Amino acid sequence: MIYKESLKFTRSRNSLAMTYMHKNYKKKFSFLSKFWLHTCLGLVLLASVQTVKAQLPQTRIYLFDLQRSQKGMKVSNGHLISKNKGYNNQPSFSPDSRYLYFSSSIDSTNTELFKMDLEKKKPRLVRLTKTKEPEYSPKITPDMDRISCVSVERDTVTQHLYTLNLKGKKPQVVLPQLKTIGYYEWITSYEFVSFELPEPFYLVKHNLNFSKVDTMATQIGRTFFYYRSKGRIVYVDKSDSLHWKIKTLNPNPKKNPEPNNTLCETLPGEEDFCILMDGSLLQGHQGVLYYLKNPFRFQESKWESLIDMNQFGFKKFQRLAVSYDNTKLAVVALP
């Protein structure tokens, strides 16, 4: 490519220059072509490896007991529940707090959905899906009849929201025209909000009954929840690169005209958190789990360290999920 483009360029100038360039490039062409060929192949392979690693980080899921008393919140009995090496992420609990669902890698590129029955004396993992396409972010749908998830299609670009039956079968795509969904949260059985690509990441509300779409925020973090007792979406605003904030957003301003609020600033560089039943927040930072007393009610609350999880070899928190009865906490971390 270098040889041909340079030869064409000099020919347009004059034949003397063309002859000079031809002689010099002829000597160096063999070396340069081999050099650029090996360099380009190396870059392609490196980019491919880096892409796979970026998509499937090495993560583990730990399960803890949560207990609240007059002395405060206690976190105990931590143990590893993800058995597969590689990517293990996006845990969520069933509304009755009996089951824990998550995504786990079965090889270097594919992930499947798993569940664990927490009421059994010896809980074991049950694989729900067996597909060629990776699935992520399992959740029980509001009607509690199906499991929803994000699936990356075979073109590796399209990302659809699907629902499956409770055994992981009979997939149905939700909104086929929605092809850039990253994460999501159900509001009702016919409304959900989604994190959508590309950057700056968007928070978008979808109404299935009326085929209505509303962009509600931009430059958001990957973690957000619908806090039902307040009727608010709680999400991370990353518009200020130095000071990320946890904010609330009213998904139905016409029905509920209360203003949106900033609850607090996140811990430095952290975008993953979870909400307890009373509105308090949990977030991790540098191997330590922190607690923020209900910022909806106590605006002056400060983050307080709850437990040092470095004993489990945590380097960085990835995800947090709390059971609906607030007795279990699932933590995803980089080992």
Chain segment 175-214, per-residue pLDDT in tens: 999 999 999 999 999 999 999 999 999 999 999 999 999 9
Cα 165 from Cα 243, distance rounded (Å) = 41
Residue 258 has pLDDT above 80, yes or no: no
Q: How far apart are the first and last CA of the chain?
A: 45
Of residues 305 and 18, more confidence is placed in 305
CA gap 215, 256 in Å, rounded: 18
pLDDT at 161 over 50: yes
Residue pointed to by tokens 């009610």 = 297
Residues 6+ apart with CB under 8 A from 241: none
pLDDT score recorded for residue 196: 96
| Token reading at 1 | 């490519």
pLDDT band at 86 (very low <50, low <70, confident <90, very high): very high
Residue 196 dihedral angles phi and psi, to the nearest 5°? -125, 145
pLDDT score for 259:
73
Q: Is the pLDDT of residue 46 over 60?
A: no
Q: Quick one: pLDDT at residue 107?
A: 87
Contact by Cβ (8 Å): 125, 114: yes
Instruction: Please count the other Cβ atoms lying within 10 Å of the Cβ belonging to residue 87.
Output: 25
Instruction: Give the Cα separation of 291 and 276 in Å (integer).
Output: 10
The Cα 249–Cα 233 span in angstroms is 5
Question: What does the DSSP 8-state code read for residue 201?
Answer: P
> How does strand 72-80 pair with strand 60-69?
antiparallel
Are the C-beta atoms of 88 and 111 separated by less than 8 Å? Answer: no
Mean pLDDT of 77-81: 95
In this structure, how many other beta carbons lie within 10 angstroms of the beta carbon of residue 186? 16
d(CA 107, CA 72): 42
Average pLDDT, the chain: 85
Both tokens of residue 208? 């299935």
On the CB side of 74, how many CA atoms lie within 13 Å of its CA?
A: 7
DSSP state for residue 310 in the 8-state scheme: G
* 290 backbone dihedrals φ, ψ, rounded to 5°: -115, 155
Confidence of residue 42 (pLDDT cuts 50, 70, 90): very low
State yes or no: pLDDT of 117 exceeds 80.
yes
In this predicted structure, the answer to whether residue 73 has a pLDDT above a threshold of 50 is yes
Higher-confidence position of 74 and 46: 74
Q: How far apart are CA 101 and CA 79, in angstroms?
A: 16
* Domains of the chain, first to last: 2-49 (no CATH), 56-334 (2.120.10.30)
What is this structure's pTM?
Answer: 0.82
Whether residue 26 has pLDDT greater than 60: no
Who wins on pLDDT, 23 or 55? Answer: 55
Residue 272's alpha-carbon distances to 42, 146, 172, 287, 289, in angstroms, are 35, 26, 29, 13, 11
Q: Classify 311 as helix, strand or coil.
A: helix
Query: Please, what's the largest Cα pairwise distance for the chain?
Result: 91
Concatenating the DSSP letter of every residue in 4-57 gives HHHHHHHHTT-HHHHHHHHHHHHHHHHHHHHHHHHHHHHHHHHHHHHHHHHHS-
3-state secondary structure of 238: coil
